[in-house]
Amino acid sequence: MKLSKKNIIMAVIVASVFTSQTSAETVSDEQLARRLAIAGITLQQHNEHSAAIAYFERAQREVDHPKLSYFQGKSLDALNKPEQALRVFRKIEDAEENKKYALETRAYIRAIEAERKVKQLMIELVTVKNACTAKKSPNKVPWLLLRP
């Protein structure tokens, strides 16, 4: 990560999450996971998705919760990692603790699957086009023009 003004500001925001309590106080796993998640969401809102994922993964090590996976999936999708995002979203799709984000989770799944299908169809279309172009002779009418 390069040290741009934006990155320095993000570091200050993230650091503020962890310094809100004195060192004499103990922090439970849930509290730490919550702080890490808040930091990850803050980074996510500033399009710092790689850093956000690191925070969500760290929070998951403290408390395994579907909401953390949901936010991680969003960042994976934003980073154009659809297969990884799809695995995460499918894992939490029907989780009881993910009720709040269930509709959005299913929407992400449908959108990623639709993008995958479009890519497959585009490959098939190019393959057919190339096959037709290779076999095309000057005396024949292209098959697309024959359709009603």
Q: What are the pLDDT digits (tens) for 29-67?
A: 899 999 999 999 999 999 999 999 999 999 999 999 999
Could you report the per-residue pLDDT of 79-92, keeping only the tens digit for each? 999 999 999 999 99
CA distances from 121 to 4, 107, 108, 129 (A): 41, 21, 20, 12
| Residue 29: both structure tokens together | 């796993």
Q: What gap in Å lies between CA 71 and CA 89, rounded to an integer? A: 10
CA 82, chain centre distance (Å): 7
User: How would you classify residue 110: left for phi > 0, otherwise alpha for psi between -120 and 50, otherwise beta?
Assistant: alpha
| Residue 98: both structure tokens together | 């993910």
Q: What is the pTM of this model?
A: 0.71
Q: What gap in Å lies between CA 47 and CA 131, rounded to an integer? A: 42
Task: Label residue 107 by pLDDT band (50, 70, 90).
Answer: very high
Q: What gap in Å lies between CA 81 and CA 52, rounded to an integer? A: 14
